[in-house]
Amino acid sequence: MRQEHVEPKDRSAVRSLLRLWPYVRPVRARLFGAALVAVVASCLGLVIPLVLKWIVDGPVADADPGGVWLGALYLLLLGIAEAVLFGVRRWMVARPLAGVEASMRADLYRHLQRLPVAFHDRWPSGQLLSRGTTDLMMVRMFLAFPLTFLLVNTTTILAGFVVLLFQEWTLGLVLLAPVIPLVIICSAFETKYAKVARRAQDQVGDLTTVVEESVLGIRIIKGFGRHRSQSDAFRALAGKLRTTELGKARLLAWIWTLITTLPEIAIGAALVFGTIEVADGGLSAGTLVAFLSTALALRWPVESIGFLLAMSQEAATATERYFEVMDAAEEEDTGGTAAPADPGAGGMVFEGVRFRYPDAEEGSAPVLDRIDLHVRPGETMALVGATGSGKTTLTSLVPRLYEATAGRITLDGEDITAMPRARLRELVSVAFEEPTLFSASVGENVLMGAEGAGEEELLRALSVAQADFVHELPHGTDTEVGEQGLSLSGGQRQRLALARAVVGRPRFLVLDDPLSALDVHTEALVEAALRQVLAETTAVVVAHRPSTVMLADRVALLSGGRVSAVGTHQELLRTNAEYAWLMSGAADAPGPSGGERDEPVPEPGAEALPGTGLTEPLGANAPAEEGSTR
356 plus 318 within the same structural domain: no
Task: Write phi, then psi, for 154 (nearest 5 degrees).
Answer: -60, -45
pLDDT at 67: 79
Distance set, CA 230 to CA 188, 208, 215 (Å)? 39, 13, 11
57 plus 171 within the same structural domain: yes
pLDDT at 590: 60
Write a three-state SS string for 359-397.
Answer: CCCCCCCCCEEEEEEEECCCCEEEEEECCCCCHHHHHHH
What's the rounded Cα separation, in Å, for the pair 182 and 261?
Answer: 11
Residue 615 lies in a domain: no
Angle at 293 between CA 290 and CA 295, to 5 degrees: 110
pLDDT at 586: 59
Angle at 89 between CA 88 and CA 94, to 5 degrees: 100
**Alpha helix segments (H runs only) across 115-178:** 117-122, 125-132, 134-144, 146-167, 169-176
Number of domains into which the chain is organized: 2
316 plus 399 within the same structural domain: no
List residues bridging with 607 in a β-sheet: 616
Domain boundary among 295, 326, 357: 326
Residue 1 lies in a domain: no
428 plus 490 within the same structural domain: yes
What's the rounded Cα separation, in Å, for the pair 258 and 244?
Answer: 22
What's the rounded Cα separation, in Å, for the pair 545 and 109?
Answer: 39
What's the rounded Cα separation, in Å, for the pair 387 and 607?
Answer: 24
Task: Write phi, then psi, for 108 (nearest 5 degrees).
Answer: -65, -45
In terms of Cα–Cα distance, which of 200, 222, 537, 578 is closest to 385? 578
Spatial contact of 427 and 508, defined as CB atoms under 8 Å apart: yes
Confidence (pTM) = 0.73
Q: Which of 457-489 are b and which e, b meaning 16 or more Cβ less than 10 Å from the residue's Cβ?
A: bbbbbbebbbbebbeebeeebebbbeeebeebe
468 plus 512 within the same structural domain: yes
In terms of Cα–Cα distance, which of 509, 499, 498, 514 is closest to 453? 499
301 plus 442 within the same structural domain: no
389 plus 292 within the same structural domain: no
What's the rounded Cα separation, in Å, for the pair 551 and 542?
Answer: 11
Grouped pLDDT means (10 residues each) for the chain, 630 residues: 48 83 88 82 78 77 79 84 82 81 91 87 86 90 83 82 80 82 84 87 86 76 78 88 90 85 84 84 78 79 81 89 90 56 72 86 84 91 88 89 89 89 86 81 86 83 85 86 75 84 87 75 75 85 84 90 90 89 69 43 39 34 34
> One-letter amino acid identity for 82?
E
115 plus 258 within the same structural domain: yes
Residue 333 lies in a domain: no
- In this structure, the strands spanning 380-385 and 554-559 are parallel
CATH number at residue 505: 3.40.50.300
Residue 118 lies in a domain: yes
CA quadruple 245, 247, 250, 252: dihedral positive or negative?
Answer: negative
CATH number at residue 263: 1.20.1560.10
The residue segments making up the domain with residue 193 are: 13-326
507 plus 594 within the same structural domain: yes
What's the rounded Cα separation, in Å, for the pair 407 and 369?
Answer: 10
Residue 288 lies in a domain: yes
Residue 375 lies in a domain: yes
Residue 630 lies in a domain: no
195 plus 293 within the same structural domain: yes
Compute the residue count for the chain: 630
Helix (H) or strand (E) holding 351: strand 348-355
pLDDT at 517: 62
Spatial contact of 61 and 20, defined as CB atoms under 8 Å apart: no
Task: Write phi, then psi, for 538 (nearest 5 degrees).
Answer: -100, 125
Task: Write phi, then psi, for 608 (nearest 5 degrees).
Answer: -70, 140
Distance set, CA 439 to CA 349, 408, 443, 478, 479 (Å)? 36, 36, 11, 12, 10
Helix (H) or strand (E) holding 81: helix 65-114
pLDDT at 350: 93
What's the rounded Cα separation, in Å, for the pair 148 and 92?
Answer: 12
Residue 545 lies in a domain: yes
586 plus 476 within the same structural domain: yes
- In this structure, the strands spanning 406-411 and 414-415 are antiparallel
In terms of Cα–Cα distance, which of 111, 532, 551, 544 is closest to 325? 111
3-state secondary structure of 565: strand
DSSP 18-65: HTTHHHHGGGHHHHHHHHHHHHHHHHHHHHHHHHHHHHIIIIITTT-H
194 plus 262 within the same structural domain: yes
